Structure 1
Amino acid sequence: MHTTTHRGGRASGPRDAEAIFAATLGLLAEGGYDALTVEGAAARSGVNKTTIYRWWRSKDELIGAALVDSRLLEPVVPDTGSLEGDLVALARHIIGLLTGEPTRDLVTAVLAAAGHRPELARHAKVFFADRLSKESPVFARAVQRGELAADADPAALMDLLGGAIWFRLVIRSDTMTPDDAAPLVRTLLSGAARSS
């Protein structure tokens, strides 16, 4: 159906979209996927549920729109002057999302539900594609500076970076702080083998 409002001037959503998104993501973080209802999001955001259904046909579609367009998950696109610096900034941002409130519980709830909700899984895929497209200048600048091969795969680099953080925090239940970002990026870019 409709996507959502888009920052930067293109409007394709209700006037109260940000309040609806904040309510949706807040309820999702607090109670998980099953506890979130369109009626609850409408009540918390102060709009009629018909307003929500006019723009988003289902709870999963509403979550998908909120993930992409909410200010809560607005992506960081650093420009530090180097690929390593940019990737460290991106890693710190990911660590923050996966350790901070309420985003930690929100991300966990979405990815847990996406495993058995095909429509939500499609929206999660759109979210990650949107983030990669917004991060693409980081890699384009690195190619222009000669730091990165022209045929390098930005998606693979972000999968390795984000996947390592996700695995450590969510699967192994380890702790991470922003200070862990730089060593992780150095390993990603230089490898772990001893130089000869």
Structure 2
Amino acid sequence: MPHDPKIAKAGTRPGGRSARVRTDVVTATLAELTERGYDQLTVEAICHRAGVHKATVYRRWGGIDGLIADALAVSADQPWPIPDTGNVDEDIQLLAREVYTTFTDPDLRTTPTALIGAALRSALGAAALSAFFTARHQQAAEVVTRAVKRGQLPAGVDPVELVRAATAPLYHRLFITGEPLDERAAHRAAAAALYAARAGLFDAAAP
């Protein structure tokens, strides 16, 4: 939604040295993680690739888990153009299909899969992963908010709950059960979430 964390420009001072260092280090972290995996990831290799001193990394990030967490934080800050076809059914289907495509396309899946897997290896990373998905769900919820205004969904529907329900079964297959993920599963998850929303199961005012 996208659920593949992508790194663009980062930092609180665009063009400043601190922002450039953060961008270089986070980019290097993702590259090393993609190539080596979490178990072989080292601060030394990241520093060499980013062209920064180890002391800088340890002072600012604390170590590998801090770097993983910041990679997710940077990704969560990036804007994402959510679909707006004018039809909520198509929009929710597109959200689910993007998860499917991101994690099944050989050219796209390696980095986000490695980053999520690494994040689950530490409390710091897991917290950052939770914050990442919270940000993405809130961004994608605009699809539902627009649909309510158009009269395509009930006024009381919880936008985040609908988005979560449309994508959670896909992540369950990807990272919990390891079951194959195909287009039919993505379509079914989106359709089920929309059906539940129209049935009132995601009413924000419900107890």
Q: Please, which runs of 5 or more residues in structure 1 have no aligned partner?
A: 192-196
Partner of 1:97: 102
Q: 1:108 to 1:134 in 2, by over 3 A?
A: same
TM-score by length of 2: 0.71
Name the structure 1 match of 2:69: 64
Q: Does 1:120 align with 2:115?
A: no
Whole-Å separation in 1 of the counterparts to 2:13 and 2:19: 15
Tell me whether 1:161 sits opposite 2:166 in the alignment. yes
- Report SS of the residue matched to 2:48: helix
> Paired residue for 1:176, among 164, 178, 182?
182
Q: Any conservation in 2 of the 1:64–1:127 contact (CA below 8 Å)?
A: no
Name the CA shift for 1:151/1:59 in 2 (closer, same or farther; >3 Å). farther
Is 2:88 the partner of 1:83? yes
- In structure 1, what is the Cα distance between the partners aligned to 2:134 and 2:15? 19
Aligned length: 186
Separation in 1 of the partners of 2:195 and 2:13?
Answer: 37
Q: Residues of 1 paired with 2:137 and 2:151: CA distance?
A: 21
Give SS of 1:135's match.
helix
Query: Structure 2 vs 1, CA of residues 12 and 63 (structure 1 numbering), >3 Å: closer, same or farther?
Result: farther
TM-score, normalised to structure 1, is 0.74
CA RMSD of aligned residues (A): 3.3
Unaligned residue ranges in structure 2 (runs of 5+):
1-8, 197-207
Superposition deviation, residue 11 in structure 1: 7.3
Shift in alpha-carbon separation, 1:74–1:101, aligned structure 2, 3 A: farther
Q: Return closer, same or farther for 1:75/1:58 CA change in 2, 3 Å cut-off.
A: farther
**Which one of the candidate residues 35, 58, 73 is aligned to 1:30?**
35
SS in 2 for 1:131: helix
Q: 1:168, 1:175 within 8 Å by CA — same for their partners in 2?
A: yes
Choose the corresponding residue for 1:5, options 5, 10, 31.
10
Tell me the distance in 2 between the aligned counterparts of 1:102 and 1:50.
Answer: 34
Measure how far apart 1:186 and its partner are. Answer: 2.2
